[in-house]
């Protein structure tokens, strides 16, 4: 049985159009911020204050960090890269595509298993399994027909999920049941819609859903089961507005920005 790979091309296009059409223009140059999809809510919330602080218009290009890295490698315009994985930032650094000494490991996160409640009007919590140990997780994965994660080639949350499941000797159970999303937010949508009853997303994405969505956190994977979930940010070497890009990164380290990240569930480094 082949893995079910759900294309995210239309979703990515819609996100890009929306991101580049929003808001009134701020004074100064325009900065393109290529940022992990899991940062969507918090960065959009910080946008007005950030634009005022640095004197530039921010245009966010949200997506899977691996896909964003490839865009930069292929010459797509970007002033700042804000990744959900150190490995994608490492690749750009090794290729000489980052401005020297601008990289900051700003945040950390965790991955969690989420499930969706059947929407039949009945009592909901009792219909989701209680997972307290890897043995419970194994039983759930064995019984699940479909299981959603981000495409590991483009989505760090999918890489971390794969690593964690392999560390627990559980990956072989879900390998032929996988539904692969193009971003972590797409995985969350699969679970919320019931397209896949379970999936692995970042803790911060799971925390962002509304109670009426029916999505519940069932299990948090221990940090040591995967590579550290670090969010580095850096100025892209090809930026024509490197000073403003550096100012944006400095803004992300202000008390107000740090508080917004913490409120969203991130750990500030």
pLDDT band at 128 (very low <50, low <70, confident <90, very high): confident
Question: How does DSSP assign 195-222, residue by residue?
Answer: SSSEEEEEHHHHHHS-GGG-EEEEEE--
Helix (H, G, I), strand (E, B) or coil at 257: helix
The string over 82-108, giving b where at least 16 C-beta atoms fall within 10 Å of a residue's C-beta and e elsewhere, is bbbbbebbebbbeeebbbeebbbebbe
Q: Is 3's pLDDT higher than 60?
A: no
Q: Is 158's pLDDT higher than 80?
A: yes
How many CA atoms are closer than 13 Å to the CA of 191, on its beta-carbon side?
Answer: 31
Q: Rounded to the nearest 5°, which phi and psi values hold at 47?
A: -55, -55
Q: Which of 4-8, 57-61, 83-87, 100-104 has the lowest mean pLDDT?
A: 4-8
CATH 3.40.190.10 segments of the chain:
7-108+229-268, 111-225
**Cα–Cα–Cα angle for 183, 154, 163, rounded to 5 degrees:** 95
- Find the mean pLDDT for residues 37-42: 97
pLDDT at 9: 38
The string over 40-78, giving b where at least 16 C-beta atoms fall within 10 Å of a residue's C-beta and e elsewhere, is bbbbeebbeebbebbebbbbbbbbbbbbbbbbbeeeebb
pLDDT at 240: 97
**Cα–Cα–Cα angle for 81, 84, 89, rounded to 5 degrees:** 50
C-alpha span between 216 and 143 (Å, rounded): 18
C-alpha span between 149 and 162 (Å, rounded): 8
Q: Which of 3-12, 31-40, 101-110 has the lowest mean pLDDT?
A: 3-12
CATH 3.40.190.10 fits 111-225, yes or no: yes
pLDDT band at 13 (very low <50, low <70, confident <90, very high): very low
- Find the mean pLDDT for residues 189-213: 93
Tokens of residue 14, six digits:
């819609």
Q: Is 145's pLDDT higher than 90?
A: yes
pLDDT at 27: 62
% of the chain beyond a pLDDT of 90: 80
pLDDT at 8: 39
C-alpha span between 227 and 234 (Å, rounded): 20
C-alpha span between 5 and 229 (Å, rounded): 24
- pTM for this prediction: 0.85
Q: Is 254's pLDDT higher than 90?
A: yes
Q: Which of 113-122, 196-205, 231-240, 251-260 has the lowest mean pLDDT?
A: 113-122
CATH of domain 7-108+229-268: 3.40.190.10
Contact 222, 132 (CB under 8 A): no
How many CB atoms within 10 Å of residue 260? 19
Residues 180-198 have pLDDT tens digits of 999 999 999 999 999 999 9
Q: Strands 80-82 and 230-235, how do they pair? A: antiparallel
Q: Is 220's pLDDT higher than 80?
A: yes
Nearest to 63 by CA among 92, 109, 32: 32
């Amino acid at each position: 049985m082949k893995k079910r790979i759900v294309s995210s091309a239309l979703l990515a296009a819609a996100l890009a159009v929306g991101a580049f059409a929003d808001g009134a223009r701020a004074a100064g140059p325009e900065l393109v911020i290529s940022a992990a999809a899991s940062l969507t809510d918090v960065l959009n919330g910080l946008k007005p204050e950030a634009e005022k602080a640095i004197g530039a218009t921010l245009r966010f290009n949200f997506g899977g960090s691996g896909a964003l890295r490839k865009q930069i490698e292929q010459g797509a315009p970007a002033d700042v890269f804000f990744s959900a994985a150190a490995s994608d930032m490492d690749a750009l650094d090794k290729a000489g595509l980052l401005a020297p000494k601008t990289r900051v490991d700003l945040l950390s996160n965790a991955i969690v298993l989420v499930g969706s409640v059947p929407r039949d009007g009945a009592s909901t919590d009792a219909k989701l399994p209680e997972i307290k140990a890897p043995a419970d997780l194994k039983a759930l994965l064995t019984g699940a027909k479909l299981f959603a994660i981000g495409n590991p080639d483009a989505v760090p949350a999918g890489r971390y999920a794969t690593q964690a499941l392999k560390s627990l000797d559980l990956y072989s159970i879900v390998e032929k049941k996988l539904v692969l999303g193009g971003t972590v937010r797409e995985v969350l949508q699969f679970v919320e819609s019931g397209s896949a009853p379970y999936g692995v997303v970042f803790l911060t994405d799971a925390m962002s859903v509304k109670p009426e969505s029916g999505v519940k956190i069932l299990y948090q994977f221990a940090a040591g089961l995967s590579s550290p979930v670090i969010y580095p940010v850096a100025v892209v070497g090809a930026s024509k507005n490197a000073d403003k890009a550096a100012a944006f990164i400095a803004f992300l380290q202000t008390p107000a920005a740090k508080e917004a990240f913490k409120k969203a569930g991130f750990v500030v480094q």
